[in-house]
Amino acid sequence: MNSQPLPPEVKRLLLDYQRNEITEYHIYKAIAKQIKDETNRRIIERIADEELGHYRVWRRYTGEDVEPDRRRFLKYTLLSRLFGFTFAAKLMEQGESAAQTNYRALIPYIPEAKAVMDDEDAHEQRILALLDEEHLRYTGSMVLGLNDALVELTGALAGFTLALQDTQLIALTGSITGVAAALSMAASEYLSTKSEGEAKDPLKAALYTGIAYILTVLLLIAPYLIFKNYYLCLGVALALAVLIIAVFNYYIAVAKDEDFRPRFLEMTGLSFGVAAFSFFVGYLMRLFFHIEI
């Protein structure tokens, strides 16, 4: 241990790192308690112990104890429950990657900083090995349901909006269309998964597809049950579609280390392209058939 006194700014930085390490120790311990799989739980507990070890390294230099960040603890434990431990842990590790540049600045004062930095590098690799959560194995099924619902229903709602021009009628027609399509997609996913002999359970794959589809339908139909202006309803539905695409793709980008931007732009482009074409078709149908409702 270096016997030279630390500059005040270095000590302040170390106290921040101490707080970060003890917070992550408690977060990983809490996440581990949620995991049923023994292998995954042991890996998370090992990372927690390493975070505690890092905390003790910094404490030897500062000579002070710090309390964990309660708000950060609640944030990540809640994210773990809502979106799974892989998402929460990877999101947290992204913050650690940003901190590694500052660790290098500490090496002249604290030789152990290099070992801590190496541990943090190894964390990400171990987290990658944890991608065995059930819902992550079925992301393909969720993408199928979500993407189909967004493309088909935004298109249908755009066409219905101009053709029918009645919010209640549009909501009714859209709901029937959405539920029928959800059941059809779930059945198709069941048969597809079963025939391909994948490791996935066909029934679970069908459920993930159907549930993703139904939830998307409910969100996109909701504006037509709340507002009276059908153009406003369509605008809100399209805004919700963008929000759904953004949230889902951000989740996939973090949990599966995929690029957010291309997937987001592709899904948004498909949904809005179909919606624009369907809106035009609805206009033509109303014009040529002289339909007035």
Residues 111 and 177 in one domain: no
Which residues touch 247 (CB under 8 Å, ≥6 apart)?
none
Domain end call among 100, 128, 156: 128
Which residues touch 151 (CB under 8 Å, ≥6 apart)?
270, 271, 274
pLDDT exceeds 70 at position 32: yes
pLDDT exceeds 60 at position 292: no
- 182-196 pLDDT, tens digit per residue, is 999 889 888 888 887
Residues 270 and 160 in one domain: yes
- 65-98 pLDDT, tens digit per residue, is 999 999 999 999 999 988 888 888 888 877 665 5
pLDDT at site 5 = 72
C-alpha distances in Å from residue 282, one per residue of 58, 155, 165: 66, 10, 10
Closest by Cα among 182, 161, 149, 293 to 236:
161
| Residue 119 resides in a domain | yes
Residues 153 and 65 in one domain: no
| Residue 158 resides in a domain | yes
Within 13 Å of residue 248, how many CA atoms lie on the same side as its CB?
26
CA distance 276 to 150: 13
Structure tokens at 275: 């919606």
Give the rounded distance of the alpha carbon of 85 from its chain centre: 11
Which residues touch 170 (CB under 8 Å, ≥6 apart)?
157, 160, 161, 164, 224, 230, 233
Domain end call among 71, 99, 128: 128
CA distance 204 to 86: 20
pLDDT at site 185 = 87
Residues 242 and 113 in one domain: no
Please give the residue range of the domain that contains residue 266. 134-289
Positive or negative, the Cα torsion across 228, 231, 234, 239? negative
pLDDT at site 28 = 93
Give the rounded distance of the alpha carbon of 57 from its chain centre: 33
Residues 105 and 199 in one domain: no
Report angle CA 242, 245, 250 to the nearest 5 degrees: 125
pLDDT at site 27 = 95
| Residue 1 resides in a domain | no
C-alpha distances in Å from residue 48, one per residue of 22, 26, 90, 164: 9, 7, 14, 58
The secondary structure element, H or E, covering residue 155 is helix 139-164
pLDDT at site 128 = 61
pLDDT exceeds 70 at position 293: no
| Residue 167 resides in a domain | yes
| Residue 247 resides in a domain | yes
| Residue 55 resides in a domain | yes
How many other C-beta atoms lie within 10 A of the C-beta of residue 263?
Answer: 17
Q: What is the CA radius of gyration of the chain?
A: 25
Residues 141 and 285 in one domain: yes
Closest by Cα among 260, 214, 264 to 243:
264
Residues 281 and 142 in one domain: yes
What's the average model confidence in pLDDT over 256-275? 82
- Cβ atoms of residues 142 and 213 within 8 Å: no
CA distance 113 to 160: 62
Give the number of domains in the chain: 2
| Residue 3 resides in a domain | no
Residues 152 and 282 in one domain: yes
Domain end call among 128, 162, 197: 128
Residues 82 and 207 in one domain: no
Residues 247 and 281 in one domain: yes
pLDDT bracket for residue 220 (50, 70, 90): very high
pLDDT exceeds 70 at position 30: yes
pLDDT at site 188 = 87
Residues 116 and 170 in one domain: no
Cα end-to-end span (Å), the chain = 83
Average pLDDT, the chain: 83
Residues 30 and 51 in one domain: yes
* Type of residue numbered 129: A
